[in-house]
Amino acid sequence: MRAGERPEARGTWLKTDERSWFEPLVRSLGRPAWKYAFILVRDLDLAQDLVQEAFAKVWASANTPSRDVEFRRYLYRTIANLAHNYRRQQVMAALHPVTAPALIDPLDEVDRRAADMVVRAALRGLGAREREAVYLRYYEDLSFAETARIMNAPQVTIRVIVHRALVKLRRQLEVNLSGDKVAIP
Amino acid sequence: MIAQHELERRLQADAHDLDRHFPRADKLELQILARVAVTPLETRRRLAWRQELALAGLFVMVALLLVVGIGRLRALTQSVPAHPTPSVRSILAPGFRELGPWSGPYMVSQNDGWMVEGEPYDDLLRTSDGGAHWSQVQPSIDVLGLSQGGGLNFYAIDATHAWIVASPTSTTIINRTADGGRTWSSVTIQTPGHFGAVSFVDPKNGWLLAYASAANMQAGLTIGPVLVYRTTDGGAHWSRLSERVIPISGCQWNGISFISTTTGWMGVSCVSYPQRTSMLFVTHDGGVTWRAQSQPLGTWTCYAGVPIFTDETHGTVIACDAESRQVLLATSDAGKTWDLRPLPLPKVQADFLPQQITFSNAMHGWALRCSVPAGQDGVNFQLTDFYGTDDGGRTWHRMPTNLAHQTGGSCVGLSFLDAHVGLAVKHDLPPNGPSDASRLTQDLLKTRDGGVTWTLISTCDKPIGELRCQWMPP
């Protein structure tokens, strides 16, 4: 059996201990999926949890596609759904606040080490769908068609989302640019 | 000013930095594999041999039915040589007034008009002063029934009567107004699948096209058998026209349109049959029975829209021929026969391009050619050429116009009220071209000389991140 090929794709029944097809996918997609989740939820630890959960879900699901490209699409959609659920829970939690200890934002730590903090800050100002689209398009260098497939939306919608996001980013960067300038008396 | 390529360069540089500084995932991979090891698989039950045999028999039956169905479909149509299949989603279906970023204004008189704006769930706007001022008349998303997402379809027949049809799940919600959008009433009907399109010929008589199965709409595919619903009281009550489902699978229905209470059409494009085919279906009994109508393209075409009539006898349909060229089917006898006429537009491509073709009467029409400039991404569709016809589409000429200058080169949504007066909307593009990000504006332009000279009559500033804006004269 080739790596990345699911057993049932060859007409055999999946055994509970059969993981040979899955491990290479975890190795190749674990870190990219973590980065993707991080961009969505802006929290390294939470992103790690989401990625674990997503891999577990796609492993357990009978509908998980076998081909690598489709597997990644399926995995990314699962991560996006989990991130969406998380945001919804956050909204609910905000409606019913409880006292929680202050935590260090891991995003700040990554940001601190990143070279272009202005771009990262501007990215954080985008909406969730915009951030997701920009990340897939420019950070994973995917085509509009593939981005649309992962985000489960028509290609033209993705083009509009990306266009609007870029306009917002440019505007934000303009503001930062002008904010950096110091008037000489 | 930060140029597009500079922003993209910075994003790519940041992607590189993120990758360089992002933690290694060795531990994560082990955690994932450990988690997977203790995750039970979804139960897969092995079928008994009798069940497997029954399943195999079922497959054979389905295959036989499919062969018979294909045979019947081919018998309905004429056969011509096969050719590669292009995308059928490349052309916006005329008359199918879908809410989308490229919807044009829809003027019903010199002063009164409607406009759908932005992406789905944005605004429905109404003007009563020729387009200078627009007010929002759309009911809320909750009223529309779209809190959970879903499609939206708009149809208006005059200044006061309009319908917004929403289909959040396997129900269809029809919102209707009889006072120009000031008040709305809604009715919900149970449909097996999502709705496809809506059409009215007067304030009372309307039809609704619905997909026969929700499963066909998965992944946004507007394909599968369809049902037709009918109203005779303006949309308050709907009845399904007979139990007969128009039984074509693997096809995209491009809308429905009627010119009387008895005669109407549906355009259909099929791509998943052994060979592609597109055709017009016609009814002469108010939608109860339908048959494929012969037209000069034959059947092996890549697209067939729905007829748009400018009077009782003259109408046009956008289609594309066997070589994927966009063409026009025109009728001057109320749809009994159709003539083939050229369009000055490129072949249908796989990518989306918002082409605009509109007629104000039997003779006068306009076609807009838009394209994405080489090397550019995004939605900055550029207005490449502007064509006009004064003989019903038999010949087209490139028009001298200041439209591209007025829009900064951007493409527009277009509509004409008569041979002279027309409106064009520039959606969501910066005022000074793609590189200008100072603000996000939409402009409405008007022509009174058939499209040669355009003047700005209204503009709206949409704050970044906001969906709505106020249209005001400049």
Give residue-wise pLDDT tens across range B77-105: 433 222 222 222 222 223 333 333 445 67
Closest chain B residue to A120, measured at CA: B14
At B351, the pLDDT band (50, 70, 90 cuts) reads very low
**What average pLDDT score do residues A62-85 get?**
84
Q: What is the pLDDT of residue B11?
A: 86
Please, which pLDDT band fits residue A63 given cuts at 50, 70 and 90?
A: confident
Closest alpha carbon to B313 in B266, B263, B388, B357? B263
Strand pairing report for B315-320 and B303-304: antiparallel
Instruction: Choose between B73 and B333: higher pLDDT.
Output: B333
- Which residues in chain A have their CB less than 8 angstroms from residue B24's CB? 31
- Give the residue among B408, B412, B407, B411 at the shortest CA–CA distance from B423: B412
Number of neighbours of residue B418 by Cβ within 10 angstroms? 13
Q: What is the mean pLDDT of residues A122-133?
A: 84
Residue A120 pLDDT? 77
Beta-carbon count within 10 A of B171 CB: 15
pLDDT-based confidence at residue A3 (cuts at 50, 70, 90): very low
Provide mean pLDDT across the span A141-152.
85
Query: Encoding tokens for residue A106?
Result: 């891991």
Instruction: Tell me what the pLDDT averaged over chain A comes to.
Output: 71
With an 8 Å Cβ cutoff, is A108 touching chain B? no
CB contact under 8 A, A164 and B24: no
Mean pLDDT in residue range B434-451: 72
The pLDDT tens digits for A134-143 are 889 888 888 8
Query: Which of the 8 DSSP states describes residue A62?
Result: T
Q: Is the pLDDT higher at A23 or at B118?
A: A23
pLDDT band of A97, cuts 50, 70, 90: very low
**Mean predicted confidence (pLDDT) in B54-65:** 87
B209: confidence class by pLDDT, cuts 50, 70, 90 = confident
pLDDT of res. B424: 87
**pLDDT at residue B114 in the model:** 84
pLDDT band at B441 (very low <50, low <70, confident <90, very high): low
> Percent of chain B at pLDDT above 70?
67
Closest to B429 measured CA to CA, from B385, B451, B459: B459
CA of A169 vs chain B CAs: smallest distance (Å): 8
Q: How sure is the predictor about B447, in pLDDT bands with cuts at 50, 70 and 90? A: very high
Highest mean pLDDT among A16-20, B21-25, B168-172, B256-260: B256-260
pLDDT at B195 (0 to 100): 65
Among A15-29, A71-85, B191-205, B210-224, the range scoring the smallest mean pLDDT is B210-224
- Does the model's pTM come out above 0.95? no
Predicted confidence at residue B221, as pLDDT, reads 43
Q: CA A145, CA B244: separation in Å to the nearest integer?
A: 37
Decide if A110 and B22 are in contact by the 8 Å CB cutoff: yes
Higher pLDDT, B224 or B258: B258
In angstroms, the Cα distances linking B225 to B17, B246, B247, B271 are 51, 6, 5, 14
Mutation choice for A interface testing from B4, B27, B28, B32 by most A CBs within 10 A: B32
Which pLDDT score, from 0 to 100, does residue A181 have? Answer: 37
- Cβ-based contacts under 8 A for chains A and B: 147
Predicted pLDDT of residue B152: 66
A111-135 residues labelled b (16+ CB within 10 A) or e (exposed):
beebebebbbebbeebeebbbbbbb
- Residue A55 pLDDT exceeds 70: yes
Q: Considering CB atoms only, which of A13, A31, A152 is closest to B46?
A: A13
Average pLDDT, chain B: 74
Q: pLDDT tier at A105 (50, 70, 90 boundaries)?
A: very low
Q: Which one-letter amino acid corresponds to residue B433? A: G
Looking at residue B462, its pLDDT comes to 64
Minimum Cα–Cα distance from B19: chain A residue: A35
pLDDT of residue B169: 63
Cross-chain Cβ contact B14/A31 below 8 Å: no
Of B28, B41, B437, the CB nearest to A30: B28
Pick the most confident of A88-102, B135-149, B291-305.
B291-305
Q: Tell me: the pLDDT tens digits for B278-297?
A: 778 889 989 888 887 877 77
**Is A38 in CB contact (< 8 Å) with chain B?**
yes
Stated as kind and residue range, the H or E segment containing B76 is helix B49-76
Question: What are the C-alpha distances in Å from A103 to residues A38, A41, A92, A146, B225?
Answer: 17, 15, 20, 36, 55
pLDDT at res. B414: 82
Q: How many Å apart are CA B253 and CA B270, to the nearest integer?
A: 9
What pLDDT is recorded for position A14? Answer: 33
**A117-124 vs A106-113: helix axis angle to the nearest 10?**
150
Give the mean pLDDT of B290-319: 77
